[in-house]
Structure 1
Amino acid sequence: MIPVQLILKNFLSYQDATLDFNGLHTACICGSNGAGKSSLLEAITWAIWGESRASTEDDVIQTGAKEVRVDFTFSSNDHNYRVIRTRYRGQSSGLEFQVATPSGFKALTEKGLRATQQAILDHIKLDYDTFINSAYLRQGRADEFMLKRPTERKEILAELLKLNQYDDLEERAKDLSRSFKGQAEQLDRLLESIQGQLQQRSAIAQQRIELEEQVNQLQQAQAYDNVKVQSLQVVQHQRQNWQQQLGFLRQQHQNLSQDSDRLEQEQAAANGQLAALRELLGQQKAITEGYSEYQRLQAQEEAFSAKFQEHTRATVEMQQLQQEKAQQINEIQRQLQHAEGQLAALQQQEQEIEQTLSKVAEVQSALAQLAEARQRLQQLDRLQLEVSPLLQQQTSLQMQLERSQARILAKIEELQTSEQQLSSQQQRQPHLQQAVMEVGVQIDELEKKRVYLDRVREKGQERRHFLERLHAHQRDYEKQIGELEQKMQMLQNPDAVCPLCDRPLDKHHWDRVVQKTQSQQQEVQDQFWVSRDQMAATDSEIQTLRQEYRQLLQEVAQYDALREQRGKLTEQLAVTDDTKERLKQIATEKQKLERSLSSGDHAADKQAQLQQVQQQLRSLNYSEQDHALARSEIERWRWAEIRQAQIKDAQKRQAQIAARKPEIQAQIAELQAKIDQQDRNSPCAIAIATLESHIQEIGYNLEQHNALRSALRQSQAWQLRHQQLISAQQQYPELQQRVGELNKAKEERLTEKQLLAAQIESLVQQLERSPDPTAEIQNLEQKLAFRRRELDDLLSHLGMLQQQSAQLDALQIQSEQQQQQLQDIRQQHRIYQELAQAFGKNGIQALMIENVLPQLEAETNQLLARLSANQLHVQFVTQKAGRSGKAAKKNAKLIDTLEIVIADARGTRAYETYSGGEAFRINFAIRLALAKLLAQRSGASLQMLIVDEGFGTQDREGCDRLIAAINAIAPDFACILAVTHMPYFKEAFQARIEVHKTQTGSHLSLSM
């Protein structure tokens, strides 16, 4: 990825900025601390990946702004791409991705932010983590890798190489392995249970045979009894039919008896009714006269009811008219009250308006004062517009002068510190020379002892190898002795055979074999004891060599430390050679700066501009206090405008009231006249008088009407007697005919009863001749039911056995299937167990790190040689010797680690003992080598390199070498950006991006 153009809007400290990278190969981004140098790089990462150092997404938006926009154009794989990322405060982000074509940029934006982000990653083949660990050497992270413990460095390297995916695979493989192991254990327990159940198959089969025989016997007996019960049930059914016929006939006979009794009762009742009708017909004359009186009273009551209805209607109509008249009068009175209320309100408003108009003179005077104050304020406002730019210019010039003076003081302090350090170094030069000579003598002596130590170690190794061979011979001798003793035991048997050919032995051959075996046994025993003596002597010799080796090892233990000490002393001695000339340069430069500071001639142009600005301010004679007093004076008289508006409004309302008042008075008089007219001459009043005259004409008397009603109720009994008389005249001939019919029906019922009695007697005789089989049927049914329950139990048990047999057959098939499944699961368990080991720290991850480290070491040393003039060299050690087990054995064991051995011309020493400049060169070389390695592994070429800070620890020579190294590796990169605030370092770059911060934000300037 090669940057082409960066356009910022409201990003962090930048309001509007544009940076064109065309023509920039190696450039320096410089400026004071906090100016916004690193923000440029953060803008690139935010545009491409949406990542930055901000804690929340809205924090990248400049304070006071509502949106942020970063437009970044870059080149990758011979194509130009453009990424535009935007965000509105409190809302979602927007992302556009484009590619350059001959006709302009073409959109590659996908649907959704995530899909577009993935498209960008697919094209550049570089994610955010790889970028910040490769192309972007971020501020404060240069020594992060070196400061970690050796055991932690492997974890960091694994994280950078993204080997944590193998940790996930390891956990997944372990989970699957545990899962398959659990399944296998569960299947084992299930198979044990199934085998226990399958052992019952033979017993269940025997029980099935026995139960089937019992079921057959019971079914035969049940069939015989069923036939017998069916024959008895036919006889019982015939008897039941006869009994049903007998019951039916008896029921008919009883019904006829009851019917005869009913007919006799009806005949008696009809005779009684005939006697009552004869008595009622005898009272016909009296009933007719009483009914005529009832009809006369009823006609009079109907005439009174008509008068009552007309009287009631007229009364209700008159009440309604009276209510309507009252409502009309009430409505006019309500309007009258409303008009009187309006007249009273107008009178109250007239009094308030008169009070407001009494203050007209006071308000006019205040308005004149307000106009004068406003004129004065306008003059001061015009004067402020002229003074404000001058005040801002004065403040800016004063700040620039203060920063110039602070830079001079800081430079003087820096020169004083350097002068003190160089003076101290110059004083130490004789002591350093003496110390270098003494350390050299000690190193020569130790080198001789190291040569002798190597010889002792080689001799000890030779003795150990000889001892191991003796141990092997000892084991062979013990094996031969055991075989010979076994052969002798075999020969002690009376029927012994030859150990070689297995033939029987006679006395002569037996003696020869025994003598030969004993001779071999003695020879091997002698060799065994000679070997034991040699082992003891060799072991004693090895112990002596070990003691001598440990003593020599303690003596030469200081060899590396002495070489390191000599390297430091030599380096310090080399530094003191140029100390005297450097001290003269520092003294001259310090005197020049002090004279400039004391005379005040620094930044002369700024001081002249400041004096000119101050003179212009004095000539304008502007006072902020007078300006504030003018504003307060306006606020003081502003009430007059409010009062003037109130007076105008009062005058307007007074005219309105004067026009409105006569209208309301006329309305009140008109309403009072309407009330008098409505009470006397309205249509409702006339209709009410007419209805009162009509009610008097009706002449309805309520007491007479009530007396007539009472007499009518008393004579209503004659109406009932008259109706009974008419009914009796109609019923009398019908009742005479009914009595004759009842006599005839009574004789018919008597004849039918005699016939039924004869039939009943015949059926009783047939039932007596046929015996009842019910008891025998019940006994047989009980036997059948008991045998049926027994048979059901047997069949249920037989079905259960058949079901168990079928289940056992299914279990046999299931057992075979699960045996195969268990083998498959165990195989899967072994596979995932091996995969978990392969994916673990000591598997693929360790192998990949081991393969990567030689490439990383070679690249680091190549870069470090450029930075240190071939004085520094690093080596990555992944294993070291350790001790474990019992103290007596002291067996050597290798421990996984990632130590970085650093060596210079005087030997190896710890990383912490190197100076700040040396440490940074080492960190820079390792960091840059890691960057190249990570870029290669991600599939992208490392075309851009960003170095953010880290040069403050370098002296002038270190800076020169670092610049030389950057220039040396420049052909490997299309663009290198170095971020620093050091003046000396930035002067080494021809292309510089200057960043400075003002009140409106950070600004850029490009110098080539």
Structure 2
Amino acid sequence: MIPLQLTLKNFLSYRKATLDFSGLHTACICGSNGAGKSSLLEAITWALWGESRVSTEDDVIHAGADEVQVDFTFKNQDVTYRVIRVRRRGGGGVLEFQVQTPTGFRALTERGMRSTQQLIVDYLKLDYETFINSAYLRQGRADEFMLKKPSERKEILAELLKLNQYEVMAEQAKDLSKQFKGQAEQLERDMESHQIQLQQREAIAQAQATLESELRLLQQGQLEETKRLQQLQAMQHQRRTWEQQLTWHRQQYQNLTQDCDRLQQDLAAIQQQQRQLEALLQQEGEISAGYSHFQQLQAQEESLNHKFEAHQAAQEQRRQLERQQQIAIDALNKQLQQAQAQLEALGQQEQEIKQILNQSAEVEAGLAQLQQARIHLTHMDKLQLQVSPLLQRQQQLQNQLERAQARLSARLDELRSSVSQLQAQHQRQPQLQQAVMDVGFQIENLEKKRVRQQRVQEKGLERRSFVERLQENQREYEKQLGELTQKLQMLQTPDAICPLCDRPLDQHHWNRVVQKTQIEQKDIEQQFWIVREQLAACESELQVLRAEYKKLSQELAPYDSLREQRGQLQAQLAATDDAQNRLQQLKVEAVQIERSIQTGDYAGDVQQELWQLEQNLQQLNYDEKNHALARNEVERWRWAEIRQAQIKDAVRRQAQIAARQPELLVQIMGIQRQIEQSQTDSEFSRRIAALDLQIQEIDYNLDRHNTIRKSLRQAQSWQLRYQELCQAQQQYPQLCQRFQELVQVLEVREGDREDQYAQIESVVKQIQTIPDATEEIQTLERQIFDRRTQLDEYLARLGGLQQRSIQLEALQAQYDKQQQKLAETRKKYRVYEELSKAFGKHGIQTYMIENILPQLEAETNSILARLSGNQLHVQFVTQKAGRSGRSSAKKTAKIIDTLDILIADARGTRPYETYSGGEAFRINFAIRLALARLLAQRAGTALQMLIVDEGFGTQDREGCDRLIAAINAIASDFACILTVTHMPSFKEAFQARIEVAKTQDGSQLSLSI
């Protein structure tokens, strides 16, 4: 992977920055501590893998921003790719992967970020862990491998080489071997049980034959009784049929008897009605005479009703005409009153007009004064039109002068405040420099402790996982011990039986079972106590790690606040660099502004124009007060003009009154004549007289009308009796016909009843010919049911035997398959047991480390020779002699696995821990770079890029030169090498430099080649 371009937006300390790697082969990323050097490299890892040093994903977003974006373009195997990663604070993210084509970049992005991330890893053939342990030598991790104990270095090397997958495979193989071992033991137990069951096949066949013989006898007896039952049931069915017929005939006889009784009752009721109708028909003459008198009275009452209606209508018309006549007279009276009121009003107006006309001389004098006042006001209005624009411009110019003075005063206050701030800032510069150095030293110490804390945490997680596995094993051993103890207790009872097959045990087999169980119990107890000892050791180690982690957490509590404090101090320190020059400039500008305000030397054009306007206004000699007095004078004499209009209106109105008064007098006399005529000789009077004559001709008498009404109410009962007579005349013939019909129906019903009685006698005789077999049928049914129950029981037993026989056949086939499976399971158990040993620490892992250490040693010595001038040589020792036991005569020798690092120099061979800081760093760098190359080779990719983010402060001048020489010596092996440092002497050795500076707008980049 070769970087081409990196674009940042709101990433960590950067707001917006772009870095072009074109033309860069060996470059140095330099800048002060906390400026954001390592953030550039973190941006690359975050863009490619979404991983960085921050604890949460939102921490990569710049403070105050809502979104972060990193755009990284790189070349891999001569193909150019581009990765764009975006994340929103508190939300999701976007990941795009593109490849360059002749027409531009083409998207390779897949559905979902996880799929796209896996695609990037597949194209790079490099994951995050391999990258930071190979191409990226991260800050503070150069001595990670060397600081471990010799016994732990193999574990670190195995982690770097990703050999832990073999440990996982070993655990899986071990679990599978246990699983197959348990399966084999279970199969053996199942096969023993199946073998016992298969021995029952002959006894089951004999029992099945006996049951089949007994079933045949029972089925023959059941068939004979069933035939006899069917015959009896047929006879009983015929008897029940005749009994049902008898019941039906008796029901019909009863129904016919009820019909005859009902018909006789109907005949008696009809005879009663006939007698009542005959009595009513005998009174026909009397009823007809009474009904005729009722009709005469009804006709007289109807005639009087017509006269009453005509009389009432005439009376209503007369009342309406009287109301209309009175309304017409009232209207004329109202018109007369209005005309008289108008005549009186005209007289009053005539008196008022005479008073107005008497003021004519006074109005003429006022009009003369009004004309003079208006001439003077017109002159003042012309002057105002000339002066008004000048006054407006004068006000505008004065406002401009005031604003200019306010701006100068505000600028003066701002300059004075800035001067005081810059003076205080300049005085704090030495303190800020010392504070930045102190905070940087504290952060550097805390970063080392953070690295140590991470290693402690990783070690604790690994120990905790191991403890969980041990606890699971401990529970399994406890369960097995409980089962074995229970088995031994069962074997101690008298006449003990085998716990597996439930068969009695003789003395020989009992001894074998007890001995085998005790041996198995001892083996499990030994393994159980081994697990207990391992758990105790792990718990002690975890307590030490917890205490150390807690102590480191307390010590690291101020880390974030110190980093923030360092950033603030660096920003403040950077701001004080040009404070002195800025301070002098501000002081000079403040003196100039103060002098201008005191002398009024500002806005010269405005002041000149304002003076000219004042001269023009003096020449015009316009006074707003005189103008106001002229307006008031005009208003004071306006009454004369109003009075003149009133006099003209009074003359006009006087002429109108003189013409209107004779008209009103004529109108009043006419209205009075109309009122007299309406009361004596009008249309209403004539129509009222005609209605009075019509009322006399109607001749309606109310008393006579009431007498007729009373007589009519008394004779009304004859109408009801006449209606009853008419109904009797119609119903009497119908009743006679109905009586004859009922007599005929009664005769038919009585004949049918006699026929039903004969049928009943016949059916009774037939029933007596067939005896009742209910008890015999019930007895046969009980016998058949009992035999059926016995047959079902025998059939169930026979089915059970047949099912058992089928099961035994299937069990035989299963037994054969289990034999084959047992052989396969035992074979798999042996295979996985061997694999668990092969994949373990003493198997493939040891062989791979032993094979790779010579390559690592050769590569390390090649690099170290360049760094030390062939003065240092590294040797890896993987085994050493130890003591494993003690006896009275001698000690037994034992080989111990280790990974000691011996360094040879001009004074001899000695351990790594005895070397100074500069020499130790060169050794660390050489081993770390050699590991990086090996890891890249194992990942299947070429190491084209190398990033060295290490502290070179431990190197002297000669060590730095050799380190630079070593980097230059291996430069041909890489397409791009980036080093990170804050040392001025170190960065001068590189021609290409990427300068990083912290500003108020975030970190900024500058490239010099």
TM interval, short-chain normalised: 0.5 to 0.7
Give the Å deviation of 1:153: 2.2
Matched, 1:802 2:831: no
Change (3 A) 1:285 1:945: same
Given that 2:280 and 2:725 are in contact with CA atoms closer than 8 Å, whether structure 1 keeps it comes out as yes
Given that 1:277 and 1:728 are in contact with CA atoms closer than 8 Å, whether structure 2 keeps it comes out as yes
Q: Which residue of 1 aligns with 2:406?
A: 377
Q: Which residue of 1 aligns with 2:328?
A: none
Q: Which residue of 1 aligns with 2:900?
A: 899
Match of 2:998, SS? strand
Give the Å deviation of 1:922: 1.4
Q: Which residue of 2 aligns with 1:948?
A: 949
Change (3 A) 1:746 1:612: closer
Alignment of structure 1 residues 623-772 onto 2, 5 Å: 724-744=724-744, 746=746, 771-772=771-772
Partner amino acid for 2:142? A
Match of 2:140, SS? coil
Q: Given the two structures, how large is their TM-score scaled by the length of structure 1?
A: 0.57
Q: Which residue of 2 aligns with 1:54?
A: 54
Distance 1:195 1:713 in 2: 123
Q: Which residue of 1 aligns with 2:984?
A: 983
Given that 1:73 and 1:80 are in contact with CA atoms closer than 8 Å, whether structure 2 keeps it comes out as yes
The unaligned stretches of length 5 or more in structure 1 are: 315-365, 410-604, 627-696, 698-704
Change (3 A) 1:897 1:717: farther
Change (3 A) 1:794 1:132: closer
Give the Å deviation of 1:59: 3.8
Distance 2:55 2:709 in 1: 106
Give the Å deviation of 1:36: 2.8
Change (3 A) 1:255 1:896: same
Q: Which residue of 2 aligns with 1:151?
A: 151
Distance 1:710 1:90 in 2: 106
Change (3 A) 1:119 1:224: closer
Distance 2:788 2:42 in 1: 95
Change (3 A) 1:255 1:213: same
Give the Å deviation of 1:734: 3.3
Distance 1:140 1:7 in 2: 26
Alignment of structure 1 residues 372-411 onto 2, 5 Å: 374-381=403-410
Match of 1:811, SS? helix
Distance 2:298 2:911 in 1: 143
Match of 1:144, SS? coil
Q: Which residue of 2 aligns with 1:41?
A: 41
Distance 2:861 2:785 in 1: 106
Give the Å deviation of 1:234: 4.9
Q: Which residue of 2 aligns with 1:418?
A: none
Partner amino acid for 2:407? Q
Distance 2:986 2:67 in 1: 36
Match of 1:143, SS? coil
Matched, 1:915 2:949: no
Match of 2:162, SS? coil
Give the Å deviation of 1:191: 4.8
RMSD of aligned residue pairs (Cα, Å): 5.2
Distance 1:933 1:302 in 2: 142
Match of 2:841, SS? coil
Distance 1:931 1:824 in 2: 45
Match of 2:217, SS? helix
Distance 2:168 2:711 in 1: 116
Change (3 A) 1:229 1:981: closer
Given that 2:422 and 2:583 are in contact with CA atoms closer than 8 Å, whether structure 1 keeps it comes out as no
Give the Å deviation of 1:134: 1.5
Alignment of structure 1 residues 564-575 onto 2, 5 Å: none
Distance 2:183 2:151 in 1: 37
Give the Å deviation of 1:928: 1.0
Distance 1:727 1:779 in 2: 75
Given that 1:398 and 1:610 are in contact with CA atoms closer than 8 Å, whether structure 2 keeps it comes out as no
Partner amino acid for 2:270? A
Given that 1:194 and 1:815 are in contact with CA atoms closer than 8 Å, whether structure 2 keeps it comes out as yes
Partner amino acid for 2:145? F
Q: Which residue of 1 aligns with 2:622?
A: none
Given that 2:902 and 2:910 are in contact with CA atoms closer than 8 Å, whether structure 1 keeps it comes out as yes
Partner amino acid for 1:911? Y
Give the Å deviation of 1:282: 3.6
Give the Å deviation of 1:145: 1.1
Given that 1:387 and 1:620 are in contact with CA atoms closer than 8 Å, whether structure 2 keeps it comes out as no
- Post-superposition CA distance 1:694-734 (Å, at most 9, x none): xxx9xxxxxxx999999999999877655554443333233
Given that 2:85 and 2:96 are in contact with CA atoms closer than 8 Å, whether structure 1 keeps it comes out as yes
Alignment of structure 1 residues 781-796 onto 2, 5 Å: 781-796=781-796
Give the Å deviation of 1:920: 0.9
Alignment of structure 1 residues 350-369 onto 2, 5 Å: none
Change (3 A) 1:96 1:770: closer
Given that 2:4 and 2:75 are in contact with CA atoms closer than 8 Å, whether structure 1 keeps it comes out as yes
Match of 2:904, SS? strand
Given that 2:415 and 2:590 are in contact with CA atoms closer than 8 Å, whether structure 1 keeps it comes out as no
Distance 2:583 2:264 in 1: 155
Given that 1:394 and 1:614 are in contact with CA atoms closer than 8 Å, whether structure 2 keeps it comes out as no
Match of 1:148, SS? coil
Matched, 1:844 2:844: yes
Alignment of structure 1 residues 820-859 onto 2, 5 Å: 820-859=820-859
Given that 1:384 and 1:622 are in contact with CA atoms closer than 8 Å, whether structure 2 keeps it comes out as no
Given that 1:301 and 1:709 are in contact with CA atoms closer than 8 Å, whether structure 2 keeps it comes out as no
Alignment of structure 1 residues 258-277 onto 2, 5 Å: 258-277=258-277
Change (3 A) 1:367 1:796: farther
Distance 1:275 1:166 in 2: 128
Q: Which residue of 2 aligns with 1:931?
A: 932
- Post-superposition CA distance 1:64-117 (Å, at most 9, x none): 555555444444333444444455555554455455566665555555544444
Distance 1:374 1:32 in 2: 47
Distance 2:578 2:763 in 1: 154
- Post-superposition CA distance 1:118-172 (Å, at most 9, x none): 4443333332222221222121111111112233322222222222333443444
Matched, 1:620 2:592: yes
Give the Å deviation of 1:852: 1.5
Q: Which residue of 2 aligns with 1:442?
A: none
Given that 2:883 and 2:891 are in contact with CA atoms closer than 8 Å, whether structure 1 keeps it comes out as yes
Matched, 1:29 2:29: yes
Give the Å deviation of 1:206: 2.5
Match of 1:146, SS? coil
Distance 1:873 1:302 in 2: 158
Give the Å deviation of 1:940: 1.9
Give the Å deviation of 1:45: 2.8
Given that 2:412 and 2:590 are in contact with CA atoms closer than 8 Å, whether structure 1 keeps it comes out as no
Match of 1:803, SS? helix
Distance 1:160 1:721 in 2: 132
Distance 2:872 2:905 in 1: 5
Given that 1:387 and 1:617 are in contact with CA atoms closer than 8 Å, whether structure 2 keeps it comes out as no
Partner amino acid for 2:275? A
Given that 1:873 and 1:903 are in contact with CA atoms closer than 8 Å, whether structure 2 keeps it comes out as yes
Distance 2:980 2:79 in 1: 27
Match of 2:146, SS? helix
Change (3 A) 1:382 1:708: farther
Q: Which residue of 2 aligns with 1:2?
A: 2
Given that 1:26 and 1:975 are in contact with CA atoms closer than 8 Å, whether structure 2 keeps it comes out as yes
Given that 1:31 and 1:996 are in contact with CA atoms closer than 8 Å, whether structure 2 keeps it comes out as yes
Q: Which residue of 1 aligns with 2:205?
A: 205
Match of 1:898, SS? strand
Q: Which residue of 2 aligns with 1:162?
A: 162
Change (3 A) 1:26 1:389: farther
Give the Å deviation of 1:929: 0.8
- Post-superposition CA distance 1:903-927 (Å, at most 9, x none): 3333443433221112111111111
Q: Which residue of 2 aligns with 1:319?
A: none
Partner amino acid for 1:897? T
- Post-superposition CA distance 1:315-357 (Å, at most 9, x none): xxxxxxxxxxxxxxxxxxxxxxxxxxxxxxxxxxxxxxxxxxx
Q: Which residue of 1 aligns with 2:123?
A: 123
Distance 1:260 1:930 in 2: 128
Given that 1:290 and 1:718 are in contact with CA atoms closer than 8 Å, whether structure 2 keeps it comes out as yes
Alignment of structure 1 residues 417-432 onto 2, 5 Å: none
